[in-house]
Structure 1
């Protein structure tokens, strides 16, 4: 993937048991801040109905460089510093169906 190609990912975020509400609030704050970033096309949060600690993020950035910049943003670093996430599995869907 070139650094100028659009990046579209689905990320499953699993929180630590008993911390779903705290993770949800942190993810909502991350969502709001990320949507204001240059290069962010979409950043949308979904919460599972059956498992309170399971979330999915739809992430769409203009380029790999924009995604890399997002990962260095203070609000992104602050989110991960809270250590609310037990695991993340990301799927790159940028090139599927092409």
Structure 2
């Protein structure tokens, strides 16, 4: 049975005044996530015109790989920091 890749584009809005902290936390998360066996791509970009605005591109081999990623300690630690004000995600074609 073929697995369905999971690809998302997420627009992340950080809490005001915490852009540098969010950028550092996203970089840590990116470095850890790209080593996961089910991760094909996990990259973030910061907007030039709005320092609190970031875009994250994530691509996992399947839904199980994404679910595992969300349960890992470094992912949980990222969310526990509460640096994010809002996330808008859209699915991309696999």
Q: Confirm or deny a common fold (TM above 0.5).
A: yes
Matched position secondary structure for 1:52: coil
Q: List structure 1 segments (4+ residues) > 6 angstroms apart after TM superposition.
A: none
Q: Which runs of 5+ in 1 are unaligned?
A: none
d(CA) in 2 for partners of 1:11 and 1:26? 16
Cα drift, residue 75 of structure 1: 0.4
1:20 aligns with 19
Q: Following superposition of structure 1 onto structure 2, how do residues 34-53 of structure 1 map, counting pairs within 5 Å? A: 34-53=33-52
User: Please, what TM-score do these two structures have when normalized by structure 2?
Assistant: 0.95
Partner of 2:71: 72
- Measured against aligned partners, the alpha-carbon deviations of 1:28-74 in whole angstroms (never above 9, x if no partner) come to 00000000111000001100011000000100000011001100010
Number of aligned residue pairs: give it. Answer: 93
Q: TM-score, length-normalised on structure 1?
A: 0.91
Contact 1:10–1:93, Cα closer than 8 Å, also in 2 = yes
Long gaps (5+) in structure 2: none
